[in-house]
Amino acid sequence: MPFTTYSTHPYKDQRPGTSGLRKRVEVFRQGNYLKNFVQSVIDTQRELVGGTLVLGGDGRFFNREAIQVILKMAAANGVARVFVGQGGLLSTPAASCVIRKYAAAGGLILSASHNPGGPDGDFGIKYNTANGGPAPEKVTEAIFARSLEIANFLSSNAGDVDIDTLGTVMLDKMKIEIIDPVADYAELMQSIFDFDAIRALLAGGFRMRFDAMHAVTGPYAVRIFEELLGAPAGTVINGQPLEDFGGHHPDPNLVHAAELVAMTRGADGVDFAAASDGDGDRNMILGRDFFVTPSDSLAVLAANATLIPAHAGGIPGVARSMPTSQAVDRVANALNIACFETPTGWKFFGNLLDDGRIAFCGEESFGTGSSHVREKDGLWAVLAWLNVLAARSQSVADIVNQHWQQYGRNYYSRHDYEGVSTKKANSLMDALRARLPSLPGTLLEGVEIAYADDFSYTDPIDGSVSAKQGIRIGFADGSRVVFRLSGTGTVGATLRVYLESYEPDPTRQQMETQSALARLIAAAESVANIASTIDRQSPDVIT
């Protein structure tokens, strides 16, 4: 009897969203929580049986244990072959790359993204399909439905597999290839960017730092920046992946990457700095004394796309999530290429990328990417910036300032109200919805409202409709306020208010962001009565 069956229980407390299951480590360790998910994936995604699975994660606590569990289950369920990143590591974009390169049936990615790790932290698992992207809703719904009915799972009785030695091993009848987690990804990056030009830039005294935040991008960044591109040792900081990320939040923003931000300050500051999150899909871009908002980053990269060898012939189109600033729209308009506005979440870019309608896409939440994989990709964004910097021989600040002069500046900020009572947050949104029809044509803080709606998206490829994706209030001068409830928060509700004002006049483009947005902040309050409805005087987090 090579296989054992065990009884199981459903994880009915959480549907796997497109970011999969994300829970405390202790939840994953309870009973058959992990096994139930994995068996439900294999039961519903039958191409895995006799097919190839890609497996790896961001190295957080429980990663290794989960990999052994999954390998034994895959073997017992008849998966023919598994690619595992050495040491159990694969960044999310690298997993997407490996799935596509080896035409795997799918992949299981172990990560809770930018959430803290360790025994008291979070763990997560998600399934990506053969195109390398997060499973679409119909797949996650099928996995969830299956989890409610399965009564047992299959697992091999074989011992643990050595996942630290490169090479091929057998687990019962299943072939396991332990692969270098970086090699395929690094090769893909070399096929996209001008590595010679970046190497020359770095050799010419240009100083950069990359903060891997003790997460998965460490080995990728050391190989790419220090070994392949010749940046001096020490360019990558916090490069050693740790199971608890050194106790920090592996979240690349001005708060959690403060050590990196300090390195860009003053006359001694480095020319360029960047960071990525736990699983390597997010990015933050900094110049000397300069923060590039993710919305501006997408716009600047789109405007400079032809400087990147893989896009020398131009890009067919771009897409941004709805709350992301409209800076990229202006670039698309000038280039006369398509521009799509999609709901929040990377999955909405999948069809547009698969269909070749867009090449670049991004979200305001530090996500940028392209058609090379089907996930957002932190290191891709960093290399794209380095490629542009090398081609233009200008500073980050000069490039962004010139961009604003040419296209206008979209001042942008997101105000988050966290841990709000769900009831109050819903009543704020409901009240706003009720007011929408009466708003267009009225004045708010002296500016005319041009449109007000609850964003609905019809996918141009499969026709699927996603309604109620957030409230947009657009002003006649190009400014905008967006209200949305987070879909990823874990405690109560998180209200996100996205503020954007358009400033075409170069003499007015150097204001402090919150001051530049003061009128819109007041408009948001007066239209939604935030303070009184959710009992909050000010946001918890301002990005």
Give the Cα separation of 521 and 512 in Å (integer): 14
Give the Cα separation of 239 and 233 in Å (integer): 11
- By beta-carbon proximity to ligand G1P, the closer residue of 346 and 475 is 346
Among 194, 226, 251, 277, which residue sits at the site for Zn ion (rule: CB under 5 A)? Answer: 277
Residues 184/101, Cβ–Cβ less than 8 Å = yes
Please give the order of strands across the beta sheet that includes 317-321. Answer: 338-342, 317-321, 360-363, 367-370
Give the Cα separation of 270 and 273 in Å (integer): 7
Stretch 270-289: interaction string toward ligand G1P, x if CB under 6 A:
--------------------
45 binds, among Zn ion, ligand G1P, none (CB under 5 to 8 A by kind): none
Segment 98-117, which members bind Zn ion (CB under 5 A)? 113
| Tokens standing for residue 7 | 């009884």
- By beta-carbon proximity to Zn ion, the closer residue of 277 and 341 is 277
- By beta-carbon proximity to ligand G1P, the closer residue of 19 and 52 is 19
- By beta-carbon proximity to Zn ion, the closer residue of 360 and 366 is 366
Nearest to 384 by CA among 260, 299, 261: 299
The reply on whether position 147 binds ligand G1P by CB under 6 A is no
Sole residue written with tokens 């050693």: 240
Q: Is 370 a catalytic residue?
A: no
Q: Give the Cα-Cα-Cα angle 36, 38, 43 (nearest 5 degrees).
A: 90
- Of 21-29, 83-91, 200-208, 482-490, the segment contacting ligand G1P by CB under 6 A is 482-490
329 binds, among Zn ion, ligand G1P, none (CB under 5 to 8 A by kind): none
Give the Cα separation of 437 and 18 in Å (integer): 32
Segment 358-387, which members bind ligand G1P (CB under 6 A)? 363, 365
> Integer distance in angstroms from the first to the last C-alpha of the chain?
57
277 binds, among Zn ion, ligand G1P, none (CB under 5 to 8 A by kind): Zn ion
CB atoms within 10 A of CB 173: 12
| Tokens standing for residue 286 | 């900094």
147 binds, among ligand G1P, Zn ion, none (CB under 5 to 8 A by kind): none
Strands 174-179, 167-171: pairing kind: antiparallel
Q: Specify the DSSP class assigned to residue 295.
A: H
Give the Cα separation of 177 and 163 in Å (integer): 9
Residues in the interface with Zn ion (CB under 5 A) total 4
The nearest distance, CB 160 to ligand G1P, in angstroms, is: 32
Strands 493-503, 21-24: pairing kind: unpaired
The reply on whether position 487 binds ligand G1P by CB under 6 A is yes
Identify residue 292 by its one-letter amino acid code.
Answer: V
Which parts of 322-438 are beta strand (E)? 338-342, 360-363, 367-370, 409-420
Stretch 313-342: interaction string toward ligand G1P, x if CB under 6 A:
--------x---------------------
532 binds, among Zn ion, ligand G1P, none (CB under 5 to 8 A by kind): none
The reply on whether position 281 binds Zn ion by CB under 5 A is yes
Q: Specify the DSSP class assigned to residue 233.
A: T
- By beta-carbon proximity to ligand G1P, the closer residue of 117 and 345 is 345
- Of 53-61, 299-307, 343-351, 405-413, the segment contacting ligand G1P by CB under 6 A is 343-351
The reply on whether position 486 binds ligand G1P by CB under 6 A is yes
Catalytic site residue from 19, 96, 113, 276: 113
Contacts with Zn ion, residue ranges (CB under 5 A): 113, 277, 279, 281
Q: Which residues participate in catalysis according to the annotation?
A: 113
Contacts with ligand G1P, residue ranges (CB under 6 A): 19, 321, 344-346, 363, 365, 486-489, 496
